[in-house]
Amino acid sequence: MRQLTDKVVARLQADMQSPDLTGTRYRLVRYLARGGMGSVWLVEDTILQRQVALKVLDFVAAADDLAERLLQEARILAGLEHPGIVPVHDVGTLTDGRAFYCMKYVEGRTLAQHITGKSVPDRLRLLERVAEPVDFAHARGFIHRDLKPENIMIGAFGEVLVMDWGLAKVRNIVRNIARQPARPPTEEELTTEAASSATSRATGQGSVLGTPGYMSPEQKRGDEVDHRTDIFSLGALLWFLVAGSSPGEGSAGGVKVPRPLRAICDKAMATDPVARYQSAGEMTADIAHYLEDAPVNAYRENLVERGARLYARHSTAVILVAVYLLMRFLFILFARR
């Protein structure tokens, strides 16, 4: 029997993982990354002559639920057409039996890599751009459930993309229906609800999915969650951006976080979802206020802080008027002599 060296064994392991693209329109270029239930590869679409990212299950999806979950992820991405969400181009099965889908290849850096050397205002503007696709998804009834720095990519041209919707789910249909006039659910709602249930079954009822530090308390407990679990994660992301560490790591590590920003984080990461911002848009509005030196809703300023903020915002005007008054005062003084 042929004996295999370590190098050959490693190569064979890589071969076994790599997708068998025979019979498809794709040509394998290289391995990119590992996802929750599969791996992502850079492939070339030989018909459209462009590079795309192909996500494929780890090993043959003999189990229905893994393939169904991948399909669900592709469907969610397909339903969310937004500049901040990677578009899905194709979905299918490889010759080796594994389910896959193809999406836009994002060449860029993760959020953590990108923010090095960036000022706080720039980091805050990044978070605003992360919140946009999340808000969009919420408006369409989807929750991401795994927002974290590793799932935010900044493309080569500065575009911000929210990645890895593998844990996404459809919002609680009952909640949505409650806001509308009473009517029976449509077939589409039942289908998406069934798919959501399928995802829940695939993810395991009561099983905890997500990333510690960025996961809301209700998600950690395995309770039913709504879009406010993403608000919590956005708050954790904000903390990461301004403090340089994830919320689970304790203090800001010597970084002084301005009180209004800390208040925005605290509100977004409130234990009770009712106490949080009720939408990503509400949170980004407060961040915009902070960037404009305007009062932040989450923080009640005292007089001194208000004065300091107004001064910071209008310092030149204040100085000019002060100089004018000083000049007037000096004139009066000399006139009295």
Partner 1 sequence: MYSYPHPDLVAFVTPHYTSQLRIRAPDVPENSQGGNFPPTRHSVVFAAQSDDPATRLWAIETIAAAYWRPVYKYARVKWNITSDDAADFTQDFFTRLLEKEFLDSYDRSKGMLRTYLRTCADRLFMNQTRDANRLKRGAGAVHFSLDAFSLNFDDAEQELTAMPRSESPEDCFDKEWVRSLFALGLERCRAICEASGKTIHFELFARYDLEEADPRPSYAQLAEEFGLTTTDVTNYLAFARREFRRRVLEQLRQMTGTEEEFRREARALLGAEVK
Partner 2 sequence: MNKIVLGVVLGAVLGAFDGLSAWLTPAVRSQIVGIVIGSTVKGIIAGILIGVFARKVHSLALGILFGLAVGLVLAFIIAQLQHGYYFQIMLPGGMVGLIVGYATQKYGSLQTTQRA
Which residues contact partner 1 (rule: CB under 8 A)? 1-18, 20-22, 31, 34, 39, 58-64, 67-68, 71, 74-75, 78-79, 90-93, 95-99
Q: State the binding partner of 97 from partner 1, partner 2, none, CB within 5 to 8 A by kind.
A: partner 1
Asked whether the beta carbons of 264 and 238 are under 8 A apart, the reply is yes
- Beta carbon nearer to partner 2, 156 or 332: 332
By CB under 8 A, tell whether 335 contacts partner 2.
yes
CB of 16 to partner 1, least distance (A): 5
By CB under 8 A, tell whether 327 contacts partner 2.
yes
> Cα dihedral angle (104, 43, 89, 165), rounded to 10 degrees?
-60
CB of 320 to partner 2, least distance (A): 5
Q: 81: part of which helix (H) or strand (E)?
A: none
**Can you tell me which residue has the tokens 């404009």?**
292
Q: State the binding partner of 245 from partner 2, partner 1, none, CB within 5 to 8 A by kind.
A: none
How far is CA 217 from each of CA 47, 131, 157, 223, 257, rounded to the nearest angstrom?
47, 20, 36, 9, 23
By CB under 8 A, tell whether 332 contacts partner 2.
yes
- Beta carbon nearer to partner 2, 59 or 311: 311
Q: State the binding partner of 14 from partner 1, partner 2, none, CB within 5 to 8 A by kind.
A: partner 1
- Cβ atoms < 10 Å from Cβ of 229: 26
Asked whether the beta carbons of 84 and 129 are under 8 A apart, the reply is yes
Active centre residues (catalytic)? 146
Which residues, numbered 292-321, are part of the site for partner 2 (CB under 8 A)? 316-317, 320-321
**Can you tell me which residue has the tokens 């000019």?**
320
| Candidate ranges 58-66, 224-232, 272-280, 327-335; the one touching partner 2 (CB under 8 A) | 327-335
By CB under 8 A, tell whether 324 contacts partner 2.
yes
- Beta carbon nearer to partner 2, 300 or 313: 313
- Beta carbon nearer to partner 1, 20 or 218: 20
CB of 293 to partner 2, least distance (A): 13
Backbone angles phi, psi at 152, to 5 degrees: -115, 125
Q: How many CA atoms lie within 13 A of 116 on its CB side?
A: 5
Q: 126: part of which helix (H) or strand (E)?
A: helix 120-139
CB of 188 to partner 1, least distance (A): 10
Q: Supply 27's token pair.
A: 């040509």
How far is CA 52 from each of CA 10, 36, 44, 73, 326, rounded to the nearest angstrom?
26, 19, 6, 17, 66
Which residues, numbered 51-110, are part of the site for partner 2 (CB under 8 A)? none
Asked whether the beta carbons of 190 and 196 are under 8 A apart, the reply is no
Q: Residues 298, 299, 301, CA angle at the centre, nearest 5°?
A: 155
Between 260 and 299, how does the x/- string for binding to partner 2 read (CB under 8 A)?
A: ----------------------------------------
CB of 319 to partner 2, least distance (A): 10
Q: Which amino acid, 206?
A: G
- Beta carbon nearer to partner 1, 8 or 326: 8
CB of 306 to partner 2, least distance (A): 19
Asked whether the beta carbons of 160 and 154 are under 8 A apart, the reply is yes
- Beta carbon nearer to partner 1, 13 or 278: 13
CB of 310 to partner 2, least distance (A): 13
With residues binned 3-state (H G I as helix, E B as strand, rest as coil), the percentages for the chain, rounded to 5, are 50, 15, 35
Taking the C-alpha atoms of residue 314 and residue 224, their distance in angstroms, rounded to an integer, is 47
* Contacting positions for partner 2 (CB under 8 A): 316-317, 320-321, 323-324, 327-328, 331-332, 335-336
